[in-house]
Amino acid sequence: MKILVCISNVPDTTSKINFAADNKEFDKNGVQFVINPWDEYALTRAIELKEAKGGSVTVINVGEADTEPNIRKALAIGADDAIRVNAHPKDAFFVAQQIAAVAKENNYDIILMGKESIDYNGSQVHNMVGELLSIPSVVPAFKLDMVDDTTARLEREIEGGKEVVEVKLPFVASAQQPMSEPRIPNMRGIMTARTKPLQVVEPTGAEAKSAYVNYSKPEKKGGVKMIDAENAGELITLLRNEAKVL
């Protein structure tokens, strides 16, 4: 069984975010990047399936050379090899096109990724990849098990309950917790990751379908006003007229 896991390179949530070029570009200076946390659920579950059923796990990232440290981390966690599409991830459709092009050449049985990336929260790539490959996509799933060598059973949340789906291979699925418990690479994994194959391929000629016009930060929160506990009337007035929550 061949599993392809798609990983994104995203800013750590503790990083201070700034923009450049008149707020039209994300400023990477001083930003620590990590593997998208949702993708780590997918990666760990893929490794668990490989350990239980045999096969291989390949990670793919659409990104420039600065994403390779996190690709190596995915290899240290347990992936067997990696592919980096040497391109800036312009938009969701562009990324999906690159993943689909690689998948068509390698005939993967399962394509996994997180339900969304924590930077843009688009939640689009998985469905696009399924459509481009004309295979089913089950999104987002919180449980994935193999019924037999050709069929998987997935569970996903729906309004008021859950849905259990059985699907034939090949298929695309996106992961959310608690599909797995993300792993921390151990020293042996870190050492072996240095020699695992990391193939760099050039992108297809696909064009992006959208572009970011500009970025902006949320408005700063106002200061805190302290109200005397005995002055309930003033508190109600402020909640009604300033906070507008009453």
pLDDT of residue 104: 96
pLDDT of residue 182: 94
Could you report the per-residue pLDDT of 132-175, keeping only the tens digit for each? Answer: 999 999 999 999 999 999 999 999 999 899 999 999 999 999 99
Instruction: Let me know: does 191 contact 82? Beta carbons within 8 Å.
Output: no
Residue 156: its H or E element:
strand 151-158
Residue 236: its H or E element:
helix 232-241
- Domains of the chain are 2-217 (3.40.50.620)
Q: Could you tell me which residue, 72 or 236, shows the higher pLDDT?
A: 72
Residue 147: its H or E element:
none
Could you report the per-residue pLDDT of 92-109, keeping only the tens digit for each? Answer: 999 999 999 999 999 999
Candidates 56, 53, 65, 62; CA nearest to 4 is 56
Q: How far apart are CA 99 and CA 92, in angstroms?
A: 11
